[in-house]
A and B are shown apart, each in its own frame.
Chain A
């Protein structure tokens, strides 16, 4: 057992973990942040995606100990400061991009990452970018639309800022 300190969604948090405790288990069990989900044991479903130091990571594939001192963003940190939905979240709501909601945290985190790296992706690029995220409910149709609409909103915001 060792003590791990990470900054989660801007807040300093610490807890204990064994050498082989996965980040996702640390978040869920130790920090009681259950927004990040576990949908598989072969690192394929993407329900567990978070951002570590700004990079999209499947939190079931990294040890908590390896994240000591890191900055982690989870789905709980994606809303605006006033509690309203962030751009990607709002797009999911508008476009009905979620049904049961189980894949949703990972989807939102992945799409935020896709759009950071490629602000104006084509439909094919979005679909390709989501290869590591499985949704069983939506058939992806409205998730793709949500990604497109989030991209458009962000572009609008950038333009307005210029």
Chain B
């Protein structure tokens, strides 16, 4: 029977009511007395020398409080926006890391680069005044195409005349070459992993508020990780010590990665509020978001897979160019490297893998982590090339995969990871069953009778989540640790307040974390409050991204609970006049083993705060514990997705008729929330595969810069999904046995969709179409193939 509370129950979300009644508190809903409004004048040129910025007319305009330019930033001696990860290139040299000023100094490097900020009494006045700013710029040749960036002879940064940030490699190149030389069959695939815009529905917003009397700053911001912002902005940009700076990210309307990063606007409003002695608020509009939120993906790749005569994988080689955009965003350098190259073993026993990545500077918006971050790119590479290989070898796509599955764990991959556990046959079997793979040929014939082409595409993904052991990421270049923190405050009457460093921006932590604590302490969920998002309330936190909240943040909570229980046992032993070693804690009771003597959790809690009868010599009063959990390894969610499409050969229109997903997330705390996460990921993955594309023209103008041109998946574009969470193989190294589910859908689905489309078109001899597989691309591919076939 389905549980109705605790771990494993689909508990309805406690956060829903406030959102459903219009009472969410998002950053833009906050206003401070005396608040001013900032409007940012952004570059309309992709690459230009900034000769002069004349703000005199704007400064004199109605309602204007002050106009700021790069000069003010320079004179104030503010630091640039820092990068949080340093990659060492294949020669042992550090990546190129050019400065990223808060407002452009000397040059603009992408459309959207901030040139000046007008602060005024109203938003309207700030915007009107910005039109009066006179900017004199001399255009420079724009670097847009990564493939020619090295030789184009125009440098985004003087430090990198060839626009190369780093040239990195992973894996055994020699062993890979040797395996290729001996291979019976080699499949090659060249492709583009399209650039995407994360587009959380809540645009970014930042409100800086300086309290002169206390010499204290508060930043309200749309962030997935307020402590990380406090650390980066306080230490590297504004030189504000932590105790003088509060960063508060209240309800956040979706993140998907793009709200991880520290942005110039956050530093600007914080700093400017102290200059003006008034709060300064900036709210992005959607068009501005397109040219100022970090983008995602954007790889150009050549991949090769070497196989023996039976289809056993011998080696994989990948050569990728990854777009960094104009500046290095917070985690950008690690996305195409340690979050991409390391995933290239996939679910398979490929003995040798070699990956080379050249990260390029271009005159485009910075690119950083977006839902999946590197892992979707790796999965797409593998799962597409495997289908192409199956097509070439005339093998069934499921059989070729099965032939190469890893089946014994732990497994050390040739690309630096150790998978702790998994069962890839189980999720593959499940999805084939769910989607009636066997019945496909009959459905294909039925479609054909209606003049439609039916295709089926598989994708078996693995990802590395729960980032990650601090010592490991430190060795790989991270400039921070990646543990998580939690405090359990047991209140005198036995209710519990949990302070977590994870941040919820749609994931429902207030509900699922309470389930975890409820199970561990044996108290009802309504006795538990989850607090997050405020550096003044939470001891510390690294935040939410990389599907890490439950695996890392949840583990920190469990550790803190363990400490609470350990102390509670000491108190209970005293109260029950028993030896501490005889006390067991179960069902919310401290019991003397083997007797019926017991004290309830709340009784022990009360004793801790009213310590009249208390082991005061031995322990302090009070019951509050903090724990930091540093993961021992990544977690490895994995699964199989199967997509079935119908293509109209007359129009090129693709319809997804079914999408089935079987995921192994280890243990599941709240199945309803987990399925919701998969749904959302699937929609974004299908968006990438079929609709979304952040396209630049040769001048560096973002052609798809609003919802008019950037095709967001709509309800009418998507099917209902068939999602099942497998029994699962629990993670072996965290206390909850959980793996993380936030990104899986976006990782696993794009290759499933494209594999299905290519499968539908196989009779034309088509073996690849780049994403997004729009009707135009499909139709064009059909036309070109038909012409070719006719000529043969």
Contacts and interface: CB of A to CB of B under 8 A. Distances in A.
B15 interface: yes
Interface-centre pick from B712, B714, B718 (highest chain A CB count, 10 A): B714
Contact size class for B?
Answer: 35 or more
Contacts of B712: 134, 136
B715 A137 contact: no
B22 A85 contact: no
B715 A143 contact: yes
Contacts of B138: none
Nearest to B507: A99
A137 B16 contact: no
B12 interface: yes
Contacts of A104: 19-20
Contacts of A108: 20
Interface string A116-143: 0000000100111011011111111111
Given A44-B707, A133-B715, A141-B720, A99 B22 contact: no
Contacts of A74: 22
Interface string B431-451: 000000000000000000000
Interface in B232-268: 251-254, 256
Given A41-B286, A100-B254, A136 B684 contact: yes
A136 B715 contact: no
A35 B707 CA distance: 22
A15 interface: no
A13 interface: no
Given A100-B253, A130-B714, A137 B680 contact: yes
B514 to A, nearest CB: 16
Contacts of B507: 99
B281 to A, nearest CB: 11
Given A100-B254, A136-B199, A89 B21 contact: yes
A76 to B, nearest CB: 4
B708 interface: yes
Contacts of A69: none
Interface stretch (A51-59, A90-98, A149-157): A90-98
Contact of A34 (B29, B684, B707): B29
Interface residues of A, number: 53
B285 interface: yes
Interface stretch (B334-342, B639-647, B671-679): B671-679
Nearest to B716: A127
B21 A100 contact: no
A98 B707 contact: no
Interface in A11-64: 18, 28, 33-42, 44-45, 47
Interface string B691-713: 00000000000000011100011
A148 B526 CA distance: 30
A72 interface: no
A99 B716 contact: no
B706 A85 contact: no
Contacts of B16: 92-93, 98, 101
Given A131-B715, A138-B680, A100 B286 contact: no
A119 to B, nearest CB: 19
Contacts of A141: 679, 718, 720-721
A75 interface: yes
A28 to B, nearest CB: 8
Interface string B272-288: 00000000000001110
Nearest to A99: B506
A112 interface: no
Contacts of B203: 38-39
A66 interface: no
B391 to A, nearest CB: 29
Contacts of A44: 707-708
B110 interface: no
Contact of A140 (B18, B23, B683, B708): B683
Contacts of B17: 85, 93
Contact of B22 (A35, A100, A133): A35
Given A41-B285, A99-B680, A128 B201 contact: no
Interface-centre pick from A76, A131, A137 (highest chain B CB count, 10 A): A137
Contacts of B19: 98, 101, 104
A138 B679 CA distance: 6
Contacts of A45: 201, 286, 707
B682 interface: yes
B200 interface: yes
A103 B707 CA distance: 15
Contacts of A94: 12
Contacts of B683: 136, 138-140
A40 B254 contact: no
B768 interface: no
B202 interface: yes
A6 interface: no
Contact of A101 (B12, B24, B199, B682): B24
Contacts of A134: 201, 707, 712, 714
B13 interface: yes
Contacts of B721: 139, 141
Contact of B254 (A18, A35, A102): A102
B26 interface: yes
Interface-centre pick from B16, B681, B720 (highest chain A CB count, 10 A): B16
A34 B208 CA distance: 20
B2 to A, nearest CB: 14
B508 interface: yes
Contacts of B29: 28, 34
A133 B16 CA distance: 19
Interface-centre pick from A41, A85, A92 (highest chain B CB count, 10 A): A41
B506 A100 contact: yes
B401 interface: no
Contacts of A133: 715
22 contacts: A35-B22, A37-B202, A39-B201, A78-B22, A79-B20, A85-B17, A99-B507, A100-B200, A100-B251, A100-B253, A101-B15, A101-B19, A102-B24, A103-B201, A127-B714, A127-B716, A128-B715, A130-B715, A137-B680, A138-B683, A142-B676, A144-B715
Interface of A: 18, 28, 33-42, 44-45, 47, 74-76, 78-79, 85, 89, 92-94, 96, 98-105, 108, 123, 126-128, 130-131, 133-144
Given A85-B20, A128-B716, 19 more contacts: A33-B22, A35-B21, A37-B201, A42-B708, A45-B201, A45-B707, A75-B21, A92-B20, A93-B20, A100-B506, A101-B18, A134-B707, A134-B714, A137-B676, A137-B680, A139-B680, A139-B684, A142-B679, A144-B715
